[in-house]
Structure 1
Amino acid sequence: MNRRSFLAGASGVTLATLLAGCQRSSAANLRLAMVPNSVPAQLLKAFQQLPERGSSVAVTPQDSLLKLYSLLQDWHGEGNELAPMADWVSLADYWLAPAIRQELVQPIEVASVSRWGDLNQVWLDLVRRDRSGTPNPEGSIWAVPYRWSHLVLLYDPTRLPRQAAQLKTWADLLRPELARRLVLPDHPRLVLGLAQKALKSSANSADPAAVSGLNTFLAELHQQVRAYDSNYYLESLIVGDATAVVGWSDDVLPLLRQYRHLAVAVPLEGTLLSAQLWVRPQAVPAPAPAATDWLNFCLGDDFATQLAIFGHTTSPLLWGVDPQQRPEPLQTPPEIVLTPAIADQSEFLLPLKAEAEDRYGRLWQSLRA
């Protein structure tokens, strides 16, 4: 059982049931490729039922971001007869740079995206890049964001000393009662990034070894870790194998509804961010009206509200919005909310130059050894 299927089961809803109305025939006038539930099925149905222009939607589901990336590579090569090319592919921002460098995607014309001007500058900075995939204010727009989440601490306070039953910062991960009771993501940039945030440094430092105290912090952190796991970390906490885990807010939020004894925190030093983006495969011709309609739909107020209700996550339109003005499902518990003050200290993981990537790789290997 992987993390995504676990959460679907916990909510009592299956994608297959809700997608019963989605088209998979050659008559579909909009094709999407995505990880199941990255767009809740209720929203796919709502788009198909729009009165002004009903559109049939064909979904090519892939069970991981890696498989979505492989799909882009297939379409860039000889194609994949079993999966007709999609108009839009859902891609995490971390994968955008290599997709641009390998020419798997094409720039997007956003003049017809009506709410584009309403997006905060943080989104333009994220998706405007040069041909090497590096953020560049003079570059092209390569993607349209439609949801985002942030890294949080999820923990069981009943397993902590009563007088200190709260975790508030990344530095709290070094507390002695968490020895061998911590699960971290199995991802070098995330682990090294949160360690740098704990030390009030950037998660995108060109040379992590130059961050004062980082090696010591990582050595102590590693002693706390029960496992590095990006798939089963929530289950580890629920069954009692771990006292604290680090995971994404949109994975954690539905769990907090069901397991009310758990607690959550967004570290005060700032956290790491992740966005889901729509990208256009390189070989797809100019977008049809339905493809443009889809982008406008994904940047609409109704989409933002229903994404919060059914997807437990946040629309780019809500970046920087006062927590009290967000949809109710994103307000509780208040400890999971990314406040504007913490958001200012938070970062997306940006592409690094080859020599910097090598430094991170060596540091990660040394840590795991």
Structure 2
Amino acid sequence: MKSAFERWKSKSYALTVPLRVVALEGSVPPVWIREFLKSQGKRVRFRPEFRRSLKDIFHELSDPLKKEKINPKSAAAADLVTLGDSWLNFGISKGLIEPIEAAEDQDWFRGLSDKWKDWSDLWRPELAGKISMVDSPREIVGAVLKCMGASYNTTNIDSQVVGGKHAVLQQLELLVQQVRLFDSQQYLKAFRAGDVWVAVGWSSDVLPAAKTMTKVSVIVPKSGASLWADFWAIPTTSRLVTDQIGGRVRGPSPLMEQWIEFCLQPERALPFKEEIIAGASPLSLKPSVEEPQERSSKGRPKLETNLVANIPPAEILSKCELLEPLSDDALSDYQWLMRNLQKPSQSIMNRLRFSISSAVATFRSRMQSKAV
């Protein structure tokens, strides 16, 4: 027995610590992966995976609760997942994600900005039929609310907007008459082709496209724009009976906190500031006095914009709003607007109506038998 014990002690075992994250495609700069591995040493088994859309990640989180079993390769088996702000309230209310234990005690949490705890041009007569826009009701109705001096995050239109829902509907109908195309996939294609003169969309789409074009400006309205974010979240798996959840058996990887803190280090903002990848670090929401820098534009036209390192100047940033989940009252208001919107093109109304309810309908259809 003593001899066997000595042989056992003489064996060397490789101790590795796993961390599996599932993120939106294109949201994590490749240099982050290399630098994180370098910072953590050889014992880290880091497995980043990517999905084409946030909807794909959300479906992977909700499927196991419907099927009562989990696929080790799904997002639900990851230590951390990217979850967009529009899906956050559903993820929380249906128990798809769990809180980060003792987050308030972590340095990365204490360092976050408080942000995290002129649209009227679109109505100009000469732009009638010359605008393309994403078919997101949060952006469409949000532009109307912002133009009327209200907030993107209005929780009850009748009590918070002058004139209530009927006034908002009137402005919305005028905007719809101005817009030639509502299509989140094709709005920039129409702009490139010259079919429209103005494209209203997300910076992650607009900035890369605009850099390849001439005589194009990217402008954030002086009255402010929407700020949207993707979050790292922990999938809830405690209700599932399984003996393998990715690389973990007793909860999330102990490297989870290191990854989040790594993502929020000031150095991580460099790929965004150098415009290698569209977007910005949460740390960039703190007002900056940084001036635009001349960058090498060899082979590419210079882009005119009021953005500085993908961030609006301080006076505009202070008027921008981080999108919050829609309250039940706000969701009801949006659905009322879509039902009462009048426009000769029925397809536009159908797309808008579908878009506002797609997240709710998709989730409810998958979770109806498992609602908690």
Shorter-chain-normalised TM-score: which range?
Answer: 0.7 to 0.9
Unaligned runs of 5+ in 1: 1-26, 125-168
Aligned equivalent of 2:168, options 208, 214, 217:
214
Aligned equivalent of 2:51, options 62, 82, 92:
62
- Deviation, 1:96, is 0.9
Aligned equivalent of 1:278, options 232, 255, 260:
232
CA contact (8 A) 2:219 2:305 kept: no
Taking only the aligned residue pairs, the percentage that are identical comes to 30
User: What is the rounded CA distance, in whole Å, between the counterparts of 1:307 and 1:86 in structure 2?
Assistant: 26
1:351 aligns with 2:325: yes
Q: Which amino acid aligns with 2:107?
A: S
CA contact (8 A) 2:123 2:178 kept: yes
User: What is the rounded CA distance, in whole Å, between the counterparts of 2:32 and 2:55 in structure 1?
Assistant: 24
Match of 1:302 in 2: 267
CA contact (8 A) 2:132 2:198 kept: yes
Secondary structure in 1 aligned to 2:69?
coil
Aligned equivalent of 1:117, options 99, 110, 114:
110
- Deviation, 1:53, is 6.0
Match of 2:96 in 1: 104
More divergent stretch after superposition (34-43 vs 279-288): 279-288
1:317 aligns with 2:291: no
Aligned equivalent of 2:122, options 173, 192, 195:
173
1:262-300 residue CA offsets vs partner (Å, 9 max, x unmatched): 112111112111011100001274432322221111011
> Which residues in structure 2 correspond to 1:332-351 (within 5 Å)?
333-336=304-307, 337-351=311-325
> Which residues in structure 2 correspond to 1:142-221 (within 5 Å)?
169-209=118-158, 211=161, 212=163, 213-221=167-175
1:89-125 residue CA offsets vs partner (Å, 9 max, x unmatched): 101112111100000000113256433222111112x
- Deviation, 1:328, is 7.9
Match of 2:299 in 1: none
1:94 aligns with 2:62: no
Give the ranges of 4+ consecutive aligned residues of structure 1 lying more than 6 Å apart after TM superposition. Answer: 325-329
User: What is the rounded CA distance, in whole Å, between the counterparts of 1:228 and 1:316 in structure 2?
Assistant: 29
Match of 2:339 in 1: 365
User: What is the rounded CA distance, in whole Å, between the counterparts of 2:285 and 2:55 in structure 1?
Assistant: 27
Q: Which amino acid aligns with 1:227?
A: L
- Deviation, 1:87, is 0.8
Q: Which amino acid aligns with 2:284?
A: L
Secondary structure in 2 aligned to 1:58?
strand
1:41 aligns with 2:48: no
Q: Which amino acid aligns with 1:108?
A: I
1:111-153 residue CA offsets vs partner (Å, 9 max, x unmatched): 56433222111112xxxxxxxxxxxxxxxxxxxxxxxxxxxxx
CA contact (8 A) 2:217 2:305 kept: no
CA contact (8 A) 2:208 2:278 kept: yes
1:224 aligns with 2:173: no
CA contact (8 A) 2:17 2:253 kept: no
1:79 aligns with 2:57: no
Q: Which amino acid aligns with 2:290?
A: Q
Quick one: structure 1 residues 327 and 288, their matched pair in 2 at CA, closer, same or farther if it must change by over 3 Å?
A: farther
CA contact (8 A) 1:60 1:83 kept: no
CA contact (8 A) 1:318 1:326 kept: no
- Deviation, 1:333, is 4.5
CA contact (8 A) 2:37 2:44 kept: yes
Match of 2:18 in 1: 29
User: What is the rounded CA distance, in whole Å, between the counterparts of 1:32 and 1:261 in structure 2?
Assistant: 40
TM-score (ref. length: structure 1): 0.73
CA contact (8 A) 1:209 1:215 kept: no
- Deviation, 1:239, is 1.5
- Deviation, 1:325, is 6.8
1:260 aligns with 2:214: yes
Secondary structure in 1 aligned to 2:201?
strand
- Deviation, 1:54, is 6.0
CA contact (8 A) 1:92 1:277 kept: yes
CA contact (8 A) 1:322 1:339 kept: yes
Secondary structure in 1 aligned to 2:44?
coil
TM-score (ref. length: structure 2): 0.73
Quick one: structure 1 residues 258 and 283, their matched pair in 2 at CA, closer, same or farther if it must change by over 3 Å?
A: same
